[in-house]
Amino acid sequence: MKLVILVALFGLCLAQHNPHIKHGRTAIVHLFEWRWADIAEECERFLGPNGVGGVQISPPNEHIVLNSPWRPWWQRYQPVGYNLCSRSGSENELRDMITRCNNVGVNIYVDAVINHMCGSGLGQGNNASCGSQFDAGKKEFPSIPFSQSDFNDNKCRTGSGNIENYSDANQVRDCRLVSLLDLALEKDYVRSKVADFLNKLIDMGVAGFRVDACKHMWPGDLSAVYGRLHNLSTTWFSGGSRPFIFQEVIDLGGEAIASSEYFHLGRVTEFKYGAKLGTVFRKWNGEKLFYTKNWGEGWGFMPNGNALVFVDNHDNQRGHGAGGAAIVTFWDSKLHKMAVGYMLAHPYGVTRVMSSFRWDRHIVNGKDQNDWMGPPSHGNGSTKSVPINPDQTCGDGWVCEHRWRQIKNMVIFRNVVNGQPHSNWWDNQSNQVAFGRGDRGFIVFNNDDWNLDVTLNTGMPGGTYCDVISGEKEGSGCTGTQIHVGGDGRAHFKISNGDEDPFVAIHADSKL
């Protein structure tokens, strides 16, 4: 009997670790700051047809609107209510987007900001994205409503009321993160309001949540909130499906709070992944690509079944959050394509690809002076839509890494090799490595300052394959390089270190 209960509890916990991705797809893309109307189009014209499993969207609820700095991207991390209108669009547009994406097999994951409301600073004004009234000074948010007693200030023991020391778990959870008004999630009333907000989204058809700032919330409080969540909508998901939960906890080691405290609740962001992979591809601190033979848990990362991984995110691509200068972003496009390619080829974790907007980066003494800049906007502050160029790239300042051929094709690679083991490893004891995924795919990297010229056992059936990095399969031919695999599974690879993309990948579906 005890065993049955234990197994049942274990099953319940693991449920929130499952992204419920459809049709054998595997990767999620973060369409940072995109408008709902554009995401709906992107699901239909690109993400569905190219096998992308889901989209992480920016926070959909009402947020403060700031004039100084002018409309920063981070205003959306300052909620002032749970009405569903934001810089990305209205509730109707949100609902339409969720429906249309689900209809083409693309899941929606909501960035849920539930640790806090807006900043306490009076200087921020009281403009809200749906026009609701609020008073940060009095801690009043009548559209929900939350008032003074729904906040944690009485529990915080620091002089400033803010988090001052990350070695003290109590202040990290009970004080204000960068002055943001900290919700008292121990209160049943607050938990119910937060759960109502999330349940409304679940009933609209979302597949789960990226939960913001989890380090700053007690695991017990989160457990109580998650316990109130509805099952996913049976219009698109099988009965009894729990929402996918992935929790933002920054744990590079050395602090009071460890990501493992959240494992039983859902997946957790593994920030070591991008920090280390960036260091390896940059060849900093004596790192070499061949050291990644035991990439994953072998590098001290969290257990595979708990990890949500990414090369960069919306914070650390501009110096916020954690990871620093090692993080490889679209600004270093050659390294970025290789790092994202490596991540997507490797079996560890649920993978998330970043899709960014460009800003006027201006680094002085290691700090980006324009780290606040919001998405491409019109003069009145409304976000520009995403135009698609004839070559399928995006215009108007939208970077669309997810549309870059190399990244798009590696998302497909990950789907094709799903479930296959990491196999046939080869390295030159430096920065040239290769590995396969059973007999379904094989990838070779040259991040050395000299050419690669080698014959390798790919583990793949004999035949001619299109390299999906330099091109792809089109009809009965390849638009890029062809790779000939012999009957013995061996193939010859030549990769110049001078290539814009010094890596090659083949998979079962790129065979001629």
Which chain residues interact with ligand AAO by CB under 6 A?
74, 77-78, 113, 119, 121, 124, 166, 177-180, 212-213, 215, 248, 250, 252, 255, 315, 320-324
Q: Return the axis-axis angle of helices 271-282 and 333-345, rounded to nearest 10°.
A: 130
Q: Which residues pair with 463 in a beta bridge?
A: 485
Nearest distance, CB of residue 276 and ligand AAO, angstroms: 12
Cβ neighbourhood burial of 366 (10 Å; 0-12, 13-18, 19+): exposed
Structure tokens at 307: 């990890």
Which residues are CB-contacts of 64 (< 8 A; sequence separation ≥ 6)?
Answer: 75, 78, 79, 80, 118, 119, 124, 125, 126, 127, 128, 129
Q: Is 244 helix (H, G, I), strand (E, B) or coil?
A: strand
Q: How far is the CB of 250 from ligand AAO (least distance, A)?
A: 4
Q: How far is the CB of 209 from ligand AAO (least distance, A)?
A: 13
8 vs 252, beta carbon nearer ligand AAO: 252
The residue (of 246 and 426) whose beta carbon lies closer to ligand AAO is 246
Task: State which residue, 174 or 212, has the beta carbon closest to ligand AAO.
Answer: 212
Evaluate the CA torsion angle 325, 403, 57, 344 in order and state its sign: negative
Looking at 212, 221, 401, 467, which residue is catalytic?
212
Cβ atoms of residues 60 and 110 within 8 Å: yes
If we measure between CA atoms, which residue out of 188, 262, 199, 193 comes closest to residue 231? Answer: 199
> In angstroms, what is the minimal distance from the CB of 278 to ligand AAO?
12
Q: How many CA atoms lie within 13 A of 165 on its CB side?
A: 8
| Residue 119 beta carbon to ligand AAO: minimum distance, rounded to whole angstroms | 3
Choosing from 41, 248, 287, 448, the catalytic residue is 248
Q: How far is the CB of 20 from ligand AAO (least distance, A)?
A: 23
Alpha-carbon span 79 to 466, nearest angstrom: 48
| Separation between Cα atoms, residue 329 and residue 343, nearest integer Å | 14
> Is 111 noted as a catalytic residue in this protein?
no
Least distance between ligand AAO and beta carbon 132 (Å) = 18
Q: In the bound complex, what is the minimum distance in angstroms from residue 316's beta carbon to ligand AAO?
A: 8
Q: Which of 1, 36, 73 is CA-nearest to residue 320? A: 73
Query: What does the alpha-carbon distance between residue 359 and residue 251 come to, in Å, rounded to a whole number?
Result: 28
Give the DSSP H/E element, type plus range, for residue 269: strand 267-269
Residue matched to tokens 């992107």:
42
Tokens of 209: 């949540």
Tell me whether residue 199 is exposed, middle or buried, using C-beta atoms within 10 angstroms of its C-beta: 0 to 12, 13 to 18, 19 or more.
Answer: middle
- Cα 362–chain centre separation: 25
What is the spatial distance between Cα 276 and Cα 208, in angstroms, rounded to a whole number? 28
Residue nearest to ligand AAO (CB): 119
Q: Residue 3 Cβ, how far from ligand AAO at the closest point, in Å?
A: 38
Distance between CA atoms of residues 301 and 297, nearest Å: 5
> Would residue 44 show up in a list of annotated catalytic residues for this protein?
no
Separation between Cα atoms, residue 249 and residue 267, nearest integer Å? 10
The amino acid present at 16, given as its one-letter code, is Q
Contact between 105 and 22 (Cβ < 8 Å): yes
Q: Which is nearer to ligand AAO, 119 or 341 (CB)?
A: 119
Tell me whether residue 179 or residue 470 sits nearer to ligand AAO (CB atom).
Answer: 179
Tokens of 195: 């759960």
Report the C-alpha gap between 152 and 149 in whole angstroms.
8
Nearer to ligand AAO among residue 296 and residue 374 (C-beta): 374
Can you tell me the distance from the alpha carbon of 292 to that of 55, in angstroms, rounded to the nearest whole number? 28
Minimum gap (Å) between residue 313 Cβ and ligand AAO: 7
Helix (H, G, I), strand (E, B) or coil at 402: helix
- Taking the least distance from each CB to ligand AAO, the nearer of 183 and 460 is 183
Closer residue to ligand AAO, CB minimum distance, 165 or 382: 165
Q: Please give the positions annotated as active site.
A: 212, 248
